[in-house]
Amino acid sequence: MAERLEKDGFHLSRTGRTLPILLLRAREQVMERFRPMLAAHDVTEQQWRVMRVLMETEAMDASELAARASVLAPSLSRILKTLDQRGLITTRKDEKDGRRTLVALTPGGSDFIKSVAPKSAAIYAEIEELLGQDRIETLLDELEALIETLSKGR
């Protein structure tokens, strides 16, 4: 049973020991290690994520891209505009369905990722060394289970 605060007749979990806060702080600690690298290459975390997803699977429509990169549609619209202006991606209309926007990396975008990827991998390896790969895998499994359970549960 989680520790509780009992005060003035109401109770709440201690703020510092709740899923929302600890998930936020954990993510913050992880991202802190990537931030200098991302800043050095003048890309935001979200822009990097979008390009990485595109690298994994050539072209795709904006909806799928948003879902895979965990970015909301309005944010993606702005991000794509920025990346397009920088020549890192291109967009075109889907000829089968005029509503969809197909997005793809340009050769320059692909080169960009390939040049930065080793640094990203190195940082992730540092984290793996600090935490231990087993513990990370366990944690990833539990996070996936949480996501699965909450996304379906009632």
- Residues near DNA (CB under 7 A): 28, 31, 35, 39, 44-47, 61-63, 66, 71-82, 91, 96-101
Cβ proximity to DNA: between 45 and 111 the closer is: 45
* Min CB(64)–a second copy separation in Å: 12
Nearest to 22 by CA among 47, 48, 2, 52: 2
Residue count, binding to a second copy (CB under 8 A): 71
Q: Yes or no: say if 94 and 61 are a contact pair by the CB < 8 Å rule.
A: yes
Residues 45-64 binding a second copy (CB under 8 A) are: 45, 49, 52-53, 55-56
Q: Yes or no: say if 79 and 46 are a contact pair by the CB < 8 Å rule.
A: yes
Cβ proximity to a second copy: between 31 and 40 the closer is: 31
153 counts as binding a second copy under rule CB under 8 A: yes
Q: Which residue has the tokens 């998930």?
A: 23
The 99-138 contact track toward a second copy, x by CB under 8 A, reads: -----------x--xx--xx-xx--x-xxx-xx-x-xxxx
6 counts as binding a second copy under rule CB under 8 A: no
Cβ proximity to a second copy: between 53 and 102 the closer is: 53
* Min CB(133)–DNA separation in Å: 25
Buried b (16+ CB within 10 A) or exposed e, 43-59: beebbbbbbbbbeeeee
Which among DNA, a second copy, none contacts residue 6 (Cβ within 5 to 8 A by kind)? none
